[in-house]
Amino acid sequence: MEKSEAVAALAALAQDSRLDIFRHLVGAGPDGLPAGQIGAALGLPGATLSFHLSQLKQAGLVTCRRDSRHLIYAAAFPTMAALLGYLTTHCCGGDPAACGLPGPAPHGARP
């Protein structure tokens, strides 16, 4: 992930409603949720929700697909993983365990 992409993602998440939407979509998993269901769960009116989803999509944090008449939004897990990687790449001088973060998995290990 490039620095400019990390800045855009962090800027998009630095707003209460967008952070709530993103966390809700992360919890929903890769299948995502219809926009109306997101709005209902978070108490956001359609126009407000649309604006925030657009900002998250522009930052590469969510994807959108059409399913019949519904727009289905999902968290962009590769982008989320890349952002976390960008933030922790040089953590504790290359020793993430020193900061309480998990280190790389041993070769052949399953998460």
pLDDT (tens digit per residue) in 20-43: 999 999 999 999 999 999 999 999
Strands (E), the chain: 33-34, 62-67, 70-75
Going from N- to C-terminal start, the domains of the chain cover: 3-88
Q: Which residue(s) pair with 72 in the sheet?
A: 34, 65
Nearest residue to 56 via CA among 87, 26, 97, 96: 26
> Which pLDDT does position 104 carry in this prediction?
56
* pLDDT at residue 108 tops 80: no
User: From CA 15, how far away is CA 80, in angstroms rounded?
Assistant: 16
CATH of span 3-88: 1.10.10.10
Query: Looking at residue 81, what is its pLDDT?
Result: 94
Tens of pLDDT along 54-107?
A: 999 999 999 999 999 999 999 999 999 999 988 888 778 877 778 777 665 444
pLDDT bracket for residue 111 (50, 70, 90) = very low
- Measured CA to CA, the distance from residue 110 to residue 95 in angstroms comes to 21
